[in-house]
Amino acid sequence: MRTAVIVFPASNCDRDARDALAKVTGREPIMVWHRETELPDVDFVVIPGGFSYGDYLRSGAIAARSEIMADVKTKVEKGLPVAGFCNGFQVLTEAGILPGALMRNRSLKYICKPQPLTITNTKTRFTSGFNGQKEVVFPIAHHDGNYFADKKTIDRLEKNGQVVFRYNGNPNGSINDIAGITNEAGNVLGMMPHPERAVDPLHGGTDGLALFKSVLGALQ
Amino acid sequence: MSKSIKITPEIVAEHGLSTGEYQIILDRLGREPNINELGIFSVMWSEHCSYKSSRRHLGKFLTKGKRVIQGPGENAGVVDIDDNQAIIFKMESHNHPSYIEPYQGAATGVGGIMRDVFTMGARPIALMNALRFGEPDHPKTRSLVSGVVAGIGGYGNCVGVPTVGGETNFHKGYNGNILVNAMCVGLADQDKVFYSAAKGSGNPVFYVGSKTGRDGIHGATMASAEFDDDSDEKRPTVQVGDPFTEKLLIEACMELMATDAIIAIQDMGAAGLTSSSVEMADKGGVGIKINLDNVPQRETDMTPYEMMLSESQERMLMVLQPGKEHLAFDIFNKWELDVAQIGVTTDTGHLVLTHKGKTVCDIPIAPLGDDAPNLNRPHSATPQREYLAPGDARAPENWNQTMLQIMACPDVASKRWIWEQYDRHVMGDTVDSSQSGGDAAIVRIHGTNKAVAITTDCTPRYCYADPYEGGKQAVAETYRNLCAVGAEPIAITDCLNFGNPERPEIMGQFVGCVEGMNEACRALDYPVVSGNVSLYNETNGVAIPPTPAIGGVGLIDNLGKHATLSGAKDGDTLVLIGKTDGWLGCSLYAREVLGHENDGVEQICAPPPVDLTAEKAHGDYVRRLIRDRRVTAVHDCSDGGIALAAIEMAFSSGQGVTLKNHPDLPLHAWMFGEDQGRYILAVDENSVNPVISTANSKGLEARIIGKVSGEQVQVEGGFNISLEKLRETYEGWMPEFMAEID
């Protein structure tokens, strides 16, 4: 599987994403600078966490309007699998690729901790490799993770099975405990927790590996 | 404009210069300085930049060792961790600004210490912080805690460097002056370490990073005076941080450092463009000529004085190889940062500044360093305190209540409220974060099986009672915490926070602590490689408790052969290494339960002495046991004695503990005594005999003190409390305390 990681100014989980992808695929991903106008020919793209553009204006707002995101949008429509973790999720909602918005945490504080999650849809290309495992622990680390969308959108997400991860013990006030969603076509995942920070026993757990293996499996 | 300002004695005094110091300036220049020149002398000779009160004492420190590549004198210390790799680290204070404007003060403290590390070619891989706040009931404490924590998190989280550990104390002694000490640890290749000495004549001097504004002018001078009731008026001297720019600056510098373009590099910290240009030139024995018109400016009509003394953040100064200028332009333009050639090195030995076609400063550089005041301030030793015999201290009336009282006291209670606001996992190498309960944080060296262990420690109440023993203890405790995770202690950095050095009793505290620290460093072969001094932490004549915060760094050469608090298993035996005399003087028990620090009835006793020979022998033995996998968990025994250490191990493993009595000591002295140099080991049944007999054969005291089992933590005739209740009490205090502003 050929993969790419998009790098914005002040992305800071780009190395974490690169290492996780290299570990699972056996190949170094291509790091794509935000000023590029075209994605390389890859099978899977990760938009990493961090503080793109310092989170100025709104988290993900400026990155969503960068040159490379225009091409991401085009290729998503053609079916390219894309995952955004943390700031990557914020970028995807700001770009209109995923519905809803990430507001400031209910506590108004940044929060970093291991977070138990339930996989609520195991049939997506991002979760099919969990082999029946329903509960996972991924770290969260965010200030703006409070997922919000209007009622119609939430109903649609729920009905279509687009809610993929839910928090066990809601840390940030997200509607319906939503931690991660896909787009309607199912090729784009956005989630606040960090699966790429749970791929090594030294991280305290390796639940994240199955997510990347799912994507790999779905391609083969 | 600047030339029209007449230098009066009032202006000289406003610049913090004595008449004697001003006379030296007149002698060296052979004329009156203009206002720009006076400003430059003033900041270079400030306490903050010149270390004029402390320099002669710091010179006594052990600074060399088998792993030391660079000791004090550069931006940060450099130590060898094998395989051509080096760890570069330093701790620094940002106390005065953090009290006045907590968010920005703390944030820029983090930013500044990171620049000290990456300016030497190291990618920052971990941040730590040592915080001291006033008593919880003080009206300012909550908002200071809230602001400082948000500032540290806001900066470190954005830059993407994990904040992996630290310590937080609350004490009335910090009501008027909080302490914010930040430490950064970075990783570099040994052949890619960068230094600050400018070399050669005619080499281009480059300015990169953010633009210069009018913020922080005279920040260094502010940090060189005590506070009074009008301290809030000093807010304009606090700088404002931009972590986004810092992140870009790190990446851009790393990219340029991978080329061969840089001769010397230095961050613009305290006293900004002045100290960076003067120090680079002074170290290289060259002159420097700067055209101030080329300095990127954020505001209009800035004067030379303002530009030279601004402490705008996220700026660096570099001397480049001639002909490589394009590399700097390409890289910094890519990262959308300011980049400008503002000067050249010269062979005149002078700092020459031009502005709008006129020379506005022309002074010899050497006197700024060589003639900086080096004071021998009078110091009087702190009087000896009385020894408190175990039998003379009152036993608890209600053991369970006493134990819970200690668990909920602000210095002991969980600081989860703080550290959950810090990203501890970014970069993917955090193995154990000391904030989640370990003795030292462990951060893997990326792509290897090695790790660096990091800890910060200081027990100010010991230092206050006996500066010499307190200084020893602070160093020894970092050593112990590193050994407790199985790391080889390498070296320390320090942040020496004291009151007004012009008072002999304060200077006596300083000298005592430094001598104690040095004694420990020498006995443990554990040198000082970097650090900083923060004096004048004093308001209306009331000084902070002496607080020499120590940051210790150690090496774990093989992850997997390290230890944490959490591995104890049901049925394991707890073995105590080290001798216990039941030392309750100056203990947490004495303060919290006996009320020895209460106003009006103060009865502070002598703190526990540190036997450095035993400290070393115990550390060596514990590391060997960890390496040989003879132990399942290790914890050092410090504040709160055996009782608290056992409870913390129980929290970590989720298993209860049953402790034994001591045949000769009163139970409360056994449980809460703070005798130094001790470790608690969790040992599998089969290893107990060899662990104890080997210790005994080395002349070390080792004794079985309890067993891991059940869901209670208990000791016969003492407390018996469920783990759940203990945890609820321990976790409860801080969220409840902070709730009023949540």
Separation between Cα atoms, residue B184 and residue A15, nearest integer Å? 20
Name the pLDDT band for B555 (thresholds 50, 70, 90). very high
Q: Which residue has the tokens 């050639």?
A: B341
Strands (E), chain A: 3-7, 30-33, 44-47, 82-85, 101-103, 111-119, 135-142, 146-148, 163-167, 178-182, 188-191
Name the pLDDT band for B369 (thresholds 50, 70, 90). confident
> What is the arithmetic mean of pLDDT over B616-639?
96
Where b means 16+ CB within 10 Å and e means fewer, B213-247 reads: bbbbbbbbbbbbbbbeeebeebeebbbebbbbbbb
B421 CA to chain A: closest CA distance, Å?
Answer: 5
Residue numbers in A near B150 (CB within 8 A): 109-110
> What is the arithmetic mean of pLDDT over A130-140?
94
pLDDT in tens, B89-120: 999 999 999 999 999 999 999 999 999 999 99
Separation between Cα atoms, residue B345 and residue B83, nearest integer Å? 35
Separation between Cα atoms, residue A137 and residue A114, nearest integer Å? 6
Q: A78: buried, middle or exposed (CB in 10 Å: 19+, 13-18, 0-12)?
A: exposed
Comparing alpha-carbon positions, the chain B residue that sits nearest to A196 is: B428
Query: B425–A19: do the CB atoms touch at under 8 Å?
Result: no
CA dihedral of B255, B124, B442, B471, whole degrees rounded to 10: 150
CA distances from B554 to B439, B459, B481, B610, B625 (A): 12, 20, 10, 21, 17
Q: Round to the nearest angstrom and report the end-to-end CA distance of chain B.
A: 50
pLDDT number for residue B26: 96
Q: How many contacts, defined by CB atoms under 8 Å, are there between A and B?
A: 84
Cβ–Cβ < 8 Å for B526, B433: no
Tally of CA atoms within 13 A in the half-sphere of B389 that contains its CB: 2
pLDDT number for residue A202: 87
Is the confidence at residue B242, as pLDDT, over 70? Answer: yes
Comparing C-alpha atoms, which of B693, B714, B718 is closest to residue B704? B693
DSSP A84-126: EETHHHHHHHHTTSSSSEEEPPTTSS-EEEEEEEEES-TTSTT
pLDDT number for residue B436: 63
pLDDT in tens, A6-64: 999 999 999 999 999 999 999 999 999 999 999 999 999 999 999 999 999 999 999 99
Separation between Cα atoms, residue A201 and residue A218, nearest integer Å? 25
pLDDT in tens, A53-99: 999 999 999 999 999 999 999 999 999 999 999 999 999 999 999 99
Query: A9–B247: do the CB atoms touch at under 8 Å?
Result: yes
pLDDT number for residue B115: 96
What type of residue sits at position B173?
Answer: G
Express as a percent the part of chain B with pLDDT over 70.
96
Q: Round to the nearest angstrom and report the end-to-end CA distance of chain A.
A: 9
> What is the arithmetic mean of pLDDT over B422-437?
84
pLDDT number for residue B223: 61
Name the pLDDT band for B236 (thresholds 50, 70, 90). low
Comparing C-alpha atoms, which of B215, B208, B233 is closest to residue B310? B215
Residue numbers in B near A50 (CB within 8 A): 160
What's the token pair of residue B182? 């930040």
Largest CA distance in chain B: 84
> What is the arithmetic mean of pLDDT over B648-659?
95
Q: What is the β-pairing status of strands B657-659 and B430-432?
A: unpaired
pLDDT number for residue B742: 44
Is the confidence at residue B3, as pLDDT, over 60? Answer: no
pLDDT number for residue B230: 67
What type of residue sits at position B262?
Answer: I
pLDDT number for residue B683: 97
Which H or E element spans position B644? helix B641-653
Which of A34, A67, A86, A142 is flagged as catalytic? A86
**Domain A3-219 sits in which CATH superfamily?**
Class I glutamine amidotransferase (GATase) domain (3.40.50.880)
Is the confidence at residue B269, as pLDDT, over 50? Answer: yes
pLDDT number for residue B575: 98
pLDDT number for residue A211: 97
Separation between Cα atoms, residue B253 and residue B247, nearest integer Å? 10
Name the pLDDT band for B48 (thresholds 50, 70, 90). confident
Average pLDDT, chain B: 94
Query: A111–B420: do the CB atoms touch at under 8 Å?
Result: yes
List residues in chain B touching A: CB distance below 8 A: 150, 153-154, 157-160, 242-245, 247-248, 335-336, 419-431, 444, 559, 742
Name the pLDDT band for B235 (thresholds 50, 70, 90). low
More confident residue, B65 or B16: B65
pLDDT number for residue B1: 41
Which of A67, A112, A196, A203 is flagged as catalytic? A196
> What is the arithmetic mean of pLDDT over B125-146?
97
Average pLDDT, chain A: 96
Is the confidence at residue B222, as pLDDT, over 60? Answer: no
Q: Which of B248, B419, B429 sits opposite A9 (nearest CB)?
A: B248
Q: Count of CB atoms within 10 A of residue A213's CB?
A: 16
